[in-house]
Amino acid sequence: MDVRRKRRLTFFTIGLIFLLSGIEYAVILPTIWRYLQTLEAPAYFLGLALSAFSFTGLLAGPAFGHWSDRTLTTKNIILFANTFEIIGNFMYFMGFSKWLLLSSRYWHWSGSSIFGFLTRNTAPKDRSTVFAAVMACRQAGLLIGPAFNIFLRLCDFRVGPFTVNKYTSPGLFMCLLWILLQFVVLFMYWDIPHENQRGNRVAAEQEEVETQQEVLEPEEDEEIRPLFSPNELTGSYGTVTSVHSRDSSMANGDVNCAPVEEQVEDGSFKSFSASREFLREEVVVLLAAQFITLFNQTALETMVTPLTQQFFGFGELENSIMYCVCGVEVIAGFLFVRWLSRRVAERVVLAVGLAICNVSCVWCLIFLANPQGGFPWQLTEFIVGVFLQVLGLPFVAVAQVSLFSKITSEKTQGFSQGIRRSVGGLATILGPLWAGGLTSNLYVMLGLMMGLLALLTIMLGVSYERLVEPVRVLDDPPAAEAED
């Protein structure tokens, strides 16, 4: 099988992984509140259960990302990590107690290694498009997921000691889907090295052969060979020198020819500094964007189901339809962002998304914190608030992950994406916890969210000029030689 076909099947499998992660979230979210109520769980358990879903990803993200950077492979990582999904969903299906249900949400993993793989195997100019497509797969799962609830809610039978009903059936259903995905990954996913990696390997082999030939050549050839060849003249930034040229240069008194090749080919983590990488102004802004947008998103998601139950009397079917409609909007948003990112810079997309999020939070603070009017007016206020919140999500999500992949080192992308996912995981832990205890005091809950968005807006305005892809001279030695 040729490399191109393997590449297509691998990207198709990645899309399936994100599709299933979206389906799982959409299948469980509409029913988990009622599920907890049947187990006599207090109200704050909803926030605990939703935040627990991200806790394991908080820890696993950097670990799996570092594993991916070390081995430059992701297939074994995915196969290993998917077992967590299988175990967690089966525990959710068992559902003997509220504590078992809560612990089942901890068996979840982060996709940081996949984002590292995508960064290494895509050109910077195509990265926003690829990330938008992958994230759209997850949103497609959020769209399809509620449709499964339409027939899962009809389940009412027993399998041995286990009861299969509308609350436990999502766990069994997702357990079976993740098992099927294991076989898909096994047979349709390949760790295809990036073209640069293949080129570096070939260049290293050629250099080794040339070195061996130099050792085997007769000594009299050394007298015939000129002291310097044009390619061995050193002193320009980015040129690569051989061992022979360095020795010749030192013999003639030139000792300032530091070999760039040794600096570039040094191990990824030998010269890696976390403080130098992640405490830069532009990186802090993007990590803050990741945290604040996900904190606000998960807080609003936690608030939605109790709010619709209190004011509109929504059940599982109505919530599933609502999430299905939101999924259509988000997919349309990702498609639009994919088109827009080819025409404008990512920082412009990020600024547009942040402006929409600010308008959404102001609307919710004014109209949803204390709904006024009759049922039609309250429903309209709710629909507009949810529409604005969902509308801004694709802009911020795609722009910040694409920019983050460009301003951080490509050699440690797995670890860097793990840090980014962990920051997002921390947000998705704290967001539900914050909203779960304040469903009856929306002014306080939404006020903090508005304050965080205002802070992020100021940070973006101050650092706007720095949110661009840096020029990487060392990553492109041939270009540097051509300039000489």
Q: pLDDT tens digits, residue range 179-206?
A: 999 999 898 888 876 555 444 444 444 5
Query: Cα–Cα distance between 291 and 286 in angstroms, integer?
Result: 9
Exposure of 346 by Cβ count < 10 A (0-12 exposed, 13-18 middle, 19+ buried)?
buried
Q: pLDDT tens digits, residue range 288-338?
A: 998 998 898 888 887 887 888 888 888 777 877 887 788 788 888 888 988
Q: Picking from 82-96, 119-133, 169-183, which range would have the lowest pLDDT averaged per residue? A: 119-133
pLDDT at 143: 72
Q: Nearest-5° angle of CA 452, CA 455, CA 458?
A: 150
Helix axis angle, 127-152 to 169-188, nearest 10°: 140
Strand partners, 162: 159
Tokens, residue 323:
């999430």
Query: Cα–Cα distance between 446 and 300 in angstroms, integer?
Result: 9
Q: Where are the domains of the chain?
A: 1-193, 280-468
Tokens, residue 132:
């938008």
Strand partners, 159: 162
Q: Is the pLDDT at 246 greater than 80, yes or no?
A: no
Helix or strand holding residue 378 (H, E): helix 375-407
Query: Cα–Cα distance between 14 and 333 in angstroms, integer?
Result: 20
Query: Cα–Cα distance between 351 and 235 in angstroms, integer?
Result: 43
Phi and psi based region of residue 213 (left: phi greater than 0; alpha: psi -120 to 50; beta: remaining): alpha
The pTM of the full predicted model, rounded to 2 decimals, is 0.64
Strand partners, 311: none
Pick the CATH number of 1-193 from 1.20.1250.20, 3.40.50.720, 3.40.50.970, 1.20.1630.10: 1.20.1250.20
Task: State which of 303-307, 315-319, 418-422, 462-466 shows the largest mean pLDDT.
Answer: 462-466
1-193 shares its CATH topology with 280-468: yes
Average pLDDT over residues 24-38: 81
pLDDT at 348: 92
pLDDT at 288: 92
Whether 404 contacts 286, CB under 8 Å: yes
CATH code given to domain 280-468: 1.20.1250.20
Separation of first and last alpha carbons in the chain = 41
What are the φ and ψ backbone dihedral angles of 100, each rounded to 5 degrees?
-65, -40
Q: Taking all residues of the chain, what is their mean pLDDT, rounded to a whole number?
A: 75
Closest Cα partner for 382 from 396, 354, 405, 363?
A: 363
Q: pLDDT tens digits, residue range 97-156?
A: 888 888 777 776 656 677 777 777 777 777 767 877 787 787 778 777 777 877 888 888
Positive or negative, the Cα torsion across 390, 391, 396, 401?
positive
